[in-house]
Amino acid sequence: MRCIRFWGTRGSLPVALTTRDVRAKLAAALRAGSGRRFDSEADLDAFLDALPFEVAGTYGGHTACVELETGDADYVVCDLGSGLRPFGQAAIARHGPASPRTYHLFVSHLHWDHIMGLPFFVPAYVPGNRLVFYGAHAELEAALRRQMEPPSFPVPFSAFNASIEFVHLEPGRRHSVAGMQVTVKHQQHTGDSYGYRFEQDGHTVVYSTDSEHRLTDAAESAEFAAFFRDADVVVFDAMYSLAEATSVKADWGHSSNIVGVELCQLAQVKHLCLFHHEPALADAALAAVLAETRRFEQITRSGPPMRVSSAWDGLEIRL
């Protein structure tokens, strides 16, 4: 694997920047640049690069969709959230509409925010393309077809012109897919969720979203530590704060940034990437969560430092 590319990072539903949000960012940037002169585009770019990410950028609003670049002509994607639409457009722009490709699509679970992008996935309508859906849910095909049935959607699943295949992956086993070794793990979430461990060419990436963890259960923690063990990157559901995850939102099927740090430290993970962001949190709030997480990792580490980042639509992590 060469790269992890994020096309959608929100949980539950897509969100968008409002006019009020944009004005607040502009106001903050203007205040920071008050009295400063920009003699060139390079000066302006340097100024923008120096601004906090929550001012100059945004975490984005699409729901879960993560691309794994393997170095092969085939595409590998985790989840079919609304981020699948811009991914599909970018994929076609890369190789052109007349060049058929195979898309390996791994689905963590069947809740709408993780499959809602499929009806808008342009490569699915292109003859010659091949779409292979992987998952551990017996209802995977039925769920994808059902969301495109009347009255929910005007275009039926049968309108797809690409070749469509469904592959059931048994949890707890290693599977060979697209030149990778893939291990599937059952996770605690309503309707069941499954995490994926991808191994290729000495690199390991774990995609673990929509999973609730109870650190009071030592056996469960040991299982996930083994699943995460020595990973280069763990993409981790950190939707809630620790207080929310252990009180008012207990049993809601999500985890927290603090639990992510503890499990990944236990597993000696190199890089923890926070994911599945709460849609109610604005960019400034997500930036504060990231700062808090990095500080917690620093004061609790007992070994080498672990890199901590927070996913945003467009982020690339090179391996």
pLDDT score for 108: 98
Secondary structure class of 105 (helix, strand, coil) = strand
User: Can you tell me the mean pLDDT for 176-186?
Assistant: 96
Tell me, what's the pLDDT at 115? 98
Q: How far is residue 94 CA from its own chain's centroid?
A: 21
pLDDT at 95: 87
Residue 246's pLDDT is what? 56
Cα–Cα distances in angstroms (integers) from residue 206 to residues 28, 226, 299, 300, in the given order: 36, 11, 24, 22
With cut-offs at 50, 70 and 90, classify the pLDDT of residue 157.
very high
Share of the chain above pLDDT 70, in %: 96
- DSSP letters along 241-295, please? -HHHHTTTTTTSS--BHHHHHHHHHHTT-SEEEEESB-TT--HHHHHHHHHHHHH
- State residue 97's pLDDT score: 79
- Predicted pLDDT at 214: 79
- Whole-prediction pTM value? 0.95
Q: If you average pLDDT over residues 259-283, what whole number do you get?
A: 96
**In the prediction, which pLDDT does 17 show?**
94
Residues 6+ apart with CB under 8 A from 34: none
User: Is the Cα torsion angle 4, 66, 253, 139 positive or negative in sign?
Assistant: negative
Q: What is the overall mean pLDDT for the chain? A: 94
How far is 239 from 77, CA to CA, in rounded Å?
Answer: 21
Quote the pLDDT of residue 252. Answer: 56
Which residue from 147, 146, 99 is spatially nearest to 123, judged by alpha carbons? 99
Note the pLDDT of residue 122.
Answer: 97
Q: Which residue has the higher pLDDT, 290 or 1?
A: 290
pLDDT digits (tens, 9 = 90+) for 210-269: 999 877 788 889 999 999 999 999 999 998 876 665 555 566 567 889 999 999 999 999
Domains of the chain: 3-17+55-318 (3.60.15.10)
| 97-148 tens-digit pLDDT | 788 999 999 999 999 999 999 999 999 999 999 999 999 999 999 999 999 9
Rounded (10°) CA dihedral 301, 302, 303, 308 = -10
Look at residues 215, 216, 194, 217 and name the one whose alpha carbon lies nearest to residue 206: 194
E-assigned strands of 34-187? 65-69, 75-78, 102-106, 130-135, 163-168, 174-177, 180-187
Residues 188-202 have a mean pLDDT of 95
Instruction: Kindly list the distances between the CA atom of residue 80 and the CA atoms of 104, 198, 282, 301, 311, in Å, as whole numbers in the listed order.
Output: 11, 18, 23, 35, 16
pLDDT band at 4 (very low <50, low <70, confident <90, very high): very high
The amino acid present at 171, given as its one-letter code, is P
- Return the pLDDT at 146: 97
